[in-house]
Amino acid sequence: MAAAKVWLVVALLLLVALFSPSEATSSTSLRRRQVRSLLKRLNKPPLATFQSLDGDIIDCVHISNQPAFDHPLLKDHTIQMRPSIQPSGLYGEATRPFTQTWNQNGEKCSDNTIPIRRTKEEDVMRATSVTTFGKKTHGGSPHPHSHLGGVTDGHHYGVAYATRDANYYGTKVTINVWQPTIVTSGDFSLSQLWITAGSYENKDLNTIEAGWQVYPAMYGDDKTRLFIYWTRDAYNTTGCYNLACSGFIQTNPQFVIGGSISPVSIYGGTQYEYDYLVWKDPAGGNWWLQLQGNYVGYWPSSIFTRLQTGVADTVE
Ligand SMILES: *[C@@H]1O[C@H](CO)[C@@H](O)[C@H](O)[C@H]1NC(C)=O
């Protein structure tokens, strides 16, 4: 009986396959081709590979072969291994090391390589389209200047910010790492810093963002992950999460951007909090990210407009 049912289903599926319109088939195969070419672009040939306990595959990719250098503006870019200055006089120097799941046993990429979370086919298939993969799709970010907190497009948030007739050359924040429960798969939760110049109104909003997020639709699980973001046109056509588009140049062999952070803080238990420092290097104008006292890499000034020649007008 059961076998007969299975055969009936198989027969029906064959019928559906035979009679489905050819355009549906060709759009599926077009999408497959797009997915394959995106994966080829993002997943550079590794010099070493680690299997992380959280299910991620971590590739050690030569530093000069990272996705950033596919950016047309970065073709002739000379990589900067260190900022020219380190901002001084900042409070609270980091002591506890920032730890991720992939290197719990001391795994490490060798010098001149950086660890990259391999993008899997299912990661791309979860995106609404191949072209929106790795991008913010509904622009539901708090509008600078307007809120101390509130609700925008269903996003509930609280913000602390500094915005004055001032030029901001960077900011430092300490962020506690939590793993909030995500109820429906479309939801996400995050804690981050935001450095902006320009505005939504003028469509020239430039942002630099870093923090952690729990975002099942993006990563396929409910882990707390280190993330970065940038845009120079109010999230319209430029920018993306992590290394999913060319932009951020990573110099550190120790951190996986998009990789899960562990351990995380628990209510009534040990608290894990880490320092994020972002500043504009006066030599060259690149925006450096330092995490818990370690240089992670930088957003080259050339990928921006307002943040290229100028400095930030808001930090959140
Ligand atoms: C987004 O970019 C497209 C193409 O460059 C442009 O036509 C459109 O006006 C932009 N929309 C916004 C809201 O900036």
The ligand 1 atom at the shortest distance from the C-alpha of residue 236 is: 1
| pLDDT digit string, tens, across residues 64-117 | 999 999 999 998 999 999 999 988 877 766 678 999 999 998 899 999 999 999
Task: For the chain, give the mean pLDDT.
Answer: 88
Range of the domain at 113: 43-315
Q: In sequence order, which residues have a C-beta less than 8 Å from that of residue 201 and are 6 or more positions away?
A: none
In a domain, 35, yes or no: no
**Ligand 1 mean position, distance from CA 237 (Å):** 7
In a domain, 24, yes or no: no
Of 274, 288, 303, nearest in space to 87 by CA: 288
219 within a domain of the structure (yes/no): yes
Tell whether 8 is covered by a domain. no
Ligand 1 atom, smallest distance to 233 CA: 14
Shortest-distance Cα residue to atom 5 of ligand 1: 237
Inside any domain, residue 218 = yes
Instruction: For residue 265, report the phi and psi dihedrals to the nearest 5 degrees.
Output: -70, 145
Percent of the chain's residues with pLDDT above 70:
86
Q: Is 236 in the pocket of ligand 1 (CB under 6 A)?
A: yes
CA 166 to chain centre: 28
With respect to residue 53, please indicate whether it lies within any of the assigned structural domains: yes
Q: Considering only CA atoms, which residue is closest to atom 10 of ligand 1?
A: 236
Q: Is 64 in the pocket of ligand 1 (CB under 6 A)?
A: no
Domain count, the chain: 1
Sorting pLDDT into bands at 50, 70 and 90, what band is 211? very high
Residue closest by Cα to atom 4 of ligand 1 = 237
Q: Report residue 136 as tokens.
A: 């913010």
Cβ atoms of 300 and 184 closer than 8 Å: no
Instruction: Evaluate: CB of 309 within 6 angstroms of ligand 1.
Output: no
16 domain residue, yes or no: no
The pTM (predicted TM-score) of the whole model is 0.88
Judge whether 37 lies within some domain. no
